[in-house]
Amino acid sequence: MKVFFHKDFYHVYTSDPAADKGRMEAVVDTLSDSVEWMDIEPALKDDISLAHSEHHIENVRAEGLYHISSLAAGGAIQAAETGLLEPCFALIRPPGHHASQNSSWGFCYFNNMAIALAVLKRDKKIKKAFILDFDLHYGDGNVNILGQKEWVEIHNPEEHNKDDYIKNVGSILSDLDVDIIGISAGFDNHMEDWGGLLSTEDYSSMGAMVRSAADNCNAGCFAILEGGYNHDVLGQNVAALIKGMS
């Protein structure tokens, strides 16, 4: 599988957990030679402006975080475009699903998923999209930017029982009619991470469910990294999702 990555993501750009030293290394070392590594180009400002106000973009620039944030958004765009042809994963940071049109929090700056899907829609590559956001935390930024759009549906599973959670994901994916499925892949709900709920195998199961749903409606699929903060298991969890999507 193609995995989009850039060496600049190794840089510790802030003091938050998403930017921790060793976080990207944990995933890269686990995936190693088992994937096809793809380089990333930063998103253009015109692309970022599809999801964010000028005021917000300039605030990110003033914080000195424009380059790394535009690089993450660029990786999401490239993954979404590739996902129309084959499943793929974007190993990017900062995450994005808490970034709204005019503000952000939760270690996010630009909304990578919203930008990527908006670019596909603008370029007439899709008519309908579906987002599965299985991060521990509700993706309020995804909803803020895309929640009122008729062409996109967003689902954040909220079950607190592991079996119910997986059943819910399977149910929501069972009857889709879209052109692409994007996964906001946060791994912080793992049993050894902040949420303490899901197993590594559950990420493989959800990846397989997404791939099956995409195949059933002749759609593409891709995933981008959101949360996940236990470096000891993050790489294994990403690898499990990739295995399921493959």
Task: Give the model confidence (pLDDT) of 186-233 as tens digits.
Answer: 999 999 999 999 999 999 999 999 999 999 999 999 999 999 999 999
- Check: CB of residue 1 under 8 Å from CB of residue 35: yes
DSSP H or E segment with residue 77: helix 66-83
- Check: CB of residue 70 under 8 Å from CB of residue 43: yes
Task: Give the model confidence (pLDDT) of 85-126 as tens digits.
Answer: 999 999 999 999 999 999 999 999 999 999 999 999 999 999
What domain range includes position 97?
2-245
- Please tell me the predicted confidence (pLDDT) of residue 42: 98
Region 32-60: mean pLDDT is: 97
- Please tell me the predicted confidence (pLDDT) of residue 97: 98
What tokens does 76 get? Answer: 């999401």
- Please tell me the predicted confidence (pLDDT) of residue 236: 98
Alpha-carbon span 144 to 88, nearest angstrom = 25
How many structural domains comprise the chain? 1
- Check: CB of residue 81 under 8 Å from CB of residue 125: yes
Alpha-carbon span 89 to 34, nearest angstrom = 13
Distance set, CA 81 to CA 27, 66, 241 (Å): 23, 22, 19
- Please tell me the predicted confidence (pLDDT) of residue 72: 99
- Please tell me the predicted confidence (pLDDT) of residue 98: 98
**Can you give the pTM of this predicted structure?**
0.97
Question: For position 6, which CATH number holds?
Answer: 3.40.800.20
